């Protein structure tokens, strides 16, 4: 009976959005959006697009996949208006003069874990060894830096930190014996455990806020289209709320984009892991931005002491907070 009720409510939910979008099709504002990774931490824009939440807020969003940090170049070039992209990449680009700002952060935790080969019995055994992570400047690499800092190690002096690609590539390198440990994200971490690579540290346990996935646009577009920005943020927050509370509606969307069966165990595993860290209020982490700036300042000392607030535009989230949008969304 409960399952039938969920199905019926889901049908009604979708029907409402179809009616809203059909009735207002002529008045929808066209927006060119992007997302930067086919990964389980990225569903808000997918959900907002497929469940017509963008439509609900008056937006006709053309959503495309542009990998890595390339959405930033696309926005600067004018082919993309707004993107869901890594906050670290955004800060790095802005620190070099790119006219981009973080408007909100979808995901604020480095939900990575360090898995090690069987010969690593305790974390101290890693001294003098090498840990594999993602590309330099990417979220996985920052997770590796945070892990080393936690134990007082200097990267590439006490413990090596090597860029090896995404989580699947890190696991493959571990399996080939190239590295003694690796930084990975779910669901690859589940596969690592099954292959005998034990988790030795959970970075999410540090409760360290980080601008992992952020909503970003150029200052030029933001100034010219404040209403669009507000509605993108509204739709994104609502999509996060649905991901947390209505997996019956949202997991089929994630399955579509990740190209996995709707009954794939990774869908539920990832929703449980990532869902609790999805940031419904979209508040950016200034401490996380400072961590990125401190890393960049090692190569560019002029960045030391830069104010993290320079890299975000908070006025839209403040407006949504003042109008009670987030309280209404959560039902409080």
Going from the C-alpha of 62 to that of each of 16, 23, 45, 82, 317, the distances in angstroms are: 21, 19, 11, 11, 23
In this model, does residue 310 exceed pLDDT 90? yes
Please give the mean pLDDT across all residues of the chain. Answer: 90
Alpha-carbon distance of 38 to 87, in angstroms, equals 16
Domain that holds residue 251: 2-109+211-330
DSSP 203: G
> Is residue 54 located within the same domain as residue 196?
no
> Is residue 248 located within the same domain as residue 314?
yes
pLDDT tens digits, residue range 192-235? 999 999 999 999 888 788 898 999 999 999 999 999 999 999 99
> Is residue 219 located within the same domain as residue 324?
yes
> Is residue 122 located within the same domain as residue 196?
yes
Residue 48 exposed, middle or buried by CB count within 10 Å (0-12, 13-18, 19+) = buried
Domain end call among 206, 232, 264 = 206
> Is residue 260 located within the same domain as residue 324?
yes
Looking at residue 108, its pLDDT comes to 84
In this model, does residue 263 exceed pLDDT 50? yes
> Is residue 226 located within the same domain as residue 323?
yes
Looking at residue 138, its pLDDT comes to 79
For the chain, how big is the Rg over CA atoms in Å? Answer: 20
pTM of this prediction?
0.82
In this model, does residue 166 exceed pLDDT 90? no
Alpha-carbon distance of 8 to 4, in angstroms, equals 6
In this model, does residue 21 exceed pLDDT 50? no
CA angle 296, 132, 173 (to 5 degrees): 145
Domains of the chain: total: 2
Looking at residue 259, its pLDDT comes to 93
> Is residue 184 located within the same domain as residue 159?
yes
In this model, does residue 117 exceed pLDDT 70? yes
Confidence of residue 14 (pLDDT cuts 50, 70, 90): low
> Is residue 216 located within the same domain as residue 79?
yes
CATH code, domain with 31:
3.40.190.10
Alpha-carbon distance of 109 to 87, in angstroms, equals 12
More confident residue, 299 or 51: 51
């Amino acid at each position: 009976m409960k399952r039938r009720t969920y199905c019926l409510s889901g049908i009604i939910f979708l029907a409402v959005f179809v009616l809203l979008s059909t009735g207002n099709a002529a008045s929808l504002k066209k927006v060119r959006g992007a997302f930067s990774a086919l990964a389980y931490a990225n569903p808000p824009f997918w959900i907002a697009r497929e469940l017509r939440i963008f439509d609900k807020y008056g937006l006709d969003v053309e959503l495309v996949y542009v990998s890595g940090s390339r959405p930033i170049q696309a926005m600067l070039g004018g082919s993309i208006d707004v993107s869901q992209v890594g906050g670290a990449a955004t800060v790095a680009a802005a620190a070099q003069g790119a006219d981009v700002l973080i408007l909100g952060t979808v995901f604020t935790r480095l939900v990575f874990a360090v898995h090690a080969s069987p010969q690593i019995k305790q974390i101290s055994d890693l001294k003098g060894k090498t840990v594999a992570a993602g590309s330099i400047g990417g979220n996985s690499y920052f997770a590796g830096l945070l892990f080393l800092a936690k134990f007082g190690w200097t990267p590439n002096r006490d413990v090596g930190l090597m860029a090896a690609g995404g989580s699947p590539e890190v696991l493959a390198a571990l399996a080939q014996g190239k590295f003694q440990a690796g930084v990975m994200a779910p669901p690859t971490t589940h596969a690592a455990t099954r292959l005998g690579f034990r988790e030795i540290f959970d970075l999410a346990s540090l409760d360290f806020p980080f601008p992992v996935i952020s909503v970003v646009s150029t200052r030029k577009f933001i100034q010219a289209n404040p209403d669009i920005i507000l509605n993108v943020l509204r739709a994104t927050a609502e999509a996060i709320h649905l991901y947390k509370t209505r997996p019956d509606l949202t997991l089929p969307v994630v399955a579509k984009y990740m190209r996995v069966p709707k009954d794939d165990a990774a869908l539920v595993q990832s929703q449980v892991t990532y869902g609790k860290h999805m940031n419904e209020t979209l508040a950016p982490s200034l401490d996380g931005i400072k961590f990125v700036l401190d890393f960049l300042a090692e190569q560019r000392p002029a960045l030391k002491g830069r104010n993290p607030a320079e890299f975000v535009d908070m006025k839209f989230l403040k407006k949504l907070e003042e109008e009670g949008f987030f309280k209404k969304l959560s039902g409080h």
